[in-house]
Amino acid sequence: MDLLIVGSGFFGLTIAERAAASGRKVTVIDRRHHIGGNAYSEDEEQTGIEVHRYGAHLFHTSNPTVWEYVNRFTTFTDYVHRVYTNHNGVVYPLPINLGTINQFFQAAYSPTEARALVHELAGEFDAKDAANLEEKAIALIGRPLYEAFIRDYTAKQWQTDPKDLPAEVISRLPVRYTYDNRYFNDTWEGLPTDGYTAWLERMADHPNIDVKLDTDFFDTAQPLNKAATVGQVPIVYTGPVDRYFDYAEGALSWRTLDFEEEVLDVGDYQGTSVMNYADAGVPYTRVHEFKHFHPERADRYPADRTVIMREYSRFATRDDEPYYPVNTPQDRAGLLAYRDLAKGEKDVQFGGRLGTYQYLDMHMAIGAALSMWNNQLA
């Protein structure tokens, strides 16, 4: 073995694929029973509808290198992501655009008028000086829209005061003074034509890649454990960075998700793939309806049944699956300490959302893995 990769998500598999293609023998271990990390999907048993087991994954990128790379393993459908949000029992389009603004204010503002209004409502804050999520959001859309669509949703999703969340979290969402309600701004977007798992399996399908599932790096009873491998073979570790160091610098805070899946005897539950629930009174953040991700599969999917998943968000304990780094000021201090520790680990590279404690999208994880391969490992 030339390289041991801990974790088979997009970061780990990209490194594995590149290493294998250049003739290295690679072992990928994952403690779950399947590859792909949180991008894993499978067909729901009764309906055959593809369900993203760990929440909806929408692929989008503006990076030509990443786009060329991912197209080696899958084609993409022409799916374009759009999200709607329910506030006080009324549905509005997201991200916040001229349609949202006019519906909210029961008006017919032009782009110039809407900008002037938001500028006036945002008065107290300036986007470029915004120190946290709340200031940034108010600067971008003004207080009334912030309170309707962002404040309570963010409280449900992060259970953290928006003043303690980084401004970048909200910068993920564009604000538009047109009626364009595409969720993403990227050049390329789509879903893998035959599903995420087929794509992930193709990345791992190489004689130089050995994938061992149900294999926990921290389980000393299995031979490829941490104590037995660090310093003996180069390692790329993509699990939680705090877990690697046994929480020596304290636990970093993560959010986890709980999903409640239901198969319903209706052809169409909500008319769209993702409906957010903006209000504090609704305990879940959003409802996914998976058949809408693949309208091109209409002839394969049942016309009279559907699969929905309600998503709930909460703080992760050590026994939960970490999904999102919370990134409070205290976490950022902890992360710096872990980065110092990581530098001292001989022949161990840390990567991916968990390994770097960064809110990476799929295309960012793949791009970061390609860079790590080219610049440090190759």
List active site positions. 172, 176, 255, 286, 311, 359, 361
Contact between 149 and ligand UDP by CB under 6 A: the answer reads yes
Q: What type of residue is 74?
A: T
Q: How far is the CB of 15 from ligand UDP (least distance, A)?
A: 23
Contact between 15 and ligand UDP by CB under 6 A: the answer reads no
Q: How far is the CB of 46 from ligand UDP (least distance, A)?
A: 27
Q: How far is the CB of 375 from ligand UDP (least distance, A)?
A: 27
Q: What type of residue is 308?
A: I
Residues with Cβ within 8 Å of residue 113, at least 6 apart in sequence:
none
What per-residue string of b and e applies to 146-181 under the rule 16 or more CB within 10 Å gives b? bebbbbbbbebbbebebebbbbebbeebbbbbeeeb
Contact between 278 and ligand UDP by CB under 6 A: the answer reads yes
Residue 52 vs 291, nearer CB to ligand UDP: 52
Residue 63 vs 171, nearer CB to ligand UDP: 171
Name the burial class of residue 16, with classes exposed (0-12), middle (13-18) and buried (19+) by CB atoms within 10 angstroms of its CB.
Answer: buried
> Angle, nearest 10°, between helix axes 10-21 and 362-372?
40
> Among the candidate windows 4-12, 23-31, 168-176, 326-334, which touches ligand UDP by CB under 6 A?
168-176
Q: How far is the CB of 162 from ligand UDP (least distance, A)?
A: 7
Residue 170 vs 342, nearer CB to ligand UDP: 170
Which position among 276, 306, 327, 349 is part of the footprint of ligand UDP (CB under 6 A)? 276
Q: How far is the CB of 317 from ligand UDP (least distance, A)?
A: 20
**From residue 354, how far is each of 174, 240, 323, 335, 361 by CA, in Å?**
25, 4, 8, 11, 12
98: which 2 tokens?
């001229």
Which position among 38, 157, 327, 328 is part of the footprint of ligand UDP (CB under 6 A)? 157
Contact between 293 and ligand UDP by CB under 6 A: the answer reads no
> Among the candidate windows 38-46, 165-173, 203-211, 246-254, which touches ligand UDP by CB under 6 A?
165-173
Q: CA-based angle 254:318:310, to the nearest 5? A: 60
Interface with ligand UDP in residues 335-354 (CB under 6 A): none
Which position among 8, 41, 154, 215 is part of the footprint of ligand UDP (CB under 6 A)? 154
Name the burial class of residue 204, with classes exposed (0-12), middle (13-18) and buried (19+) by CB atoms within 10 angstroms of its CB.
Answer: buried
Interface with ligand UDP in residues 89-118 (CB under 6 A): 94
Q: How far is the CB of 169 from ligand UDP (least distance, A)?
A: 5
> How many whole angstroms separate alpha carbon 150 and alpha carbon 258?
21
DSSP state of 345: S
Q: How far is the CB of 220 from ligand UDP (least distance, A)?
A: 35
**From residue 336, how far is each of 164, 193, 340, 349, 376 by CA, in Å?**
18, 40, 6, 16, 21
Contact between 306 and ligand UDP by CB under 6 A: the answer reads no
Which position among 40, 69, 153, 357 is part of the footprint of ligand UDP (CB under 6 A)? 153
**From residue 245, how far is each of 105, 191, 249, 275 by CA, in Å?**
51, 36, 8, 39
Give the phi and the psi of residue 210 in degrees, each rounded to 5: -110, 120
Which residue reads 């990581």 in tokens? Answer: 342
Contact letters for ligand UDP, residues 53-92 (x by CB under 6 A): --------------------------------x-------
Binding site for ligand UDP (CB under 6 A): 85, 94, 149-150, 153-154, 157, 169-170, 172-173, 276, 278
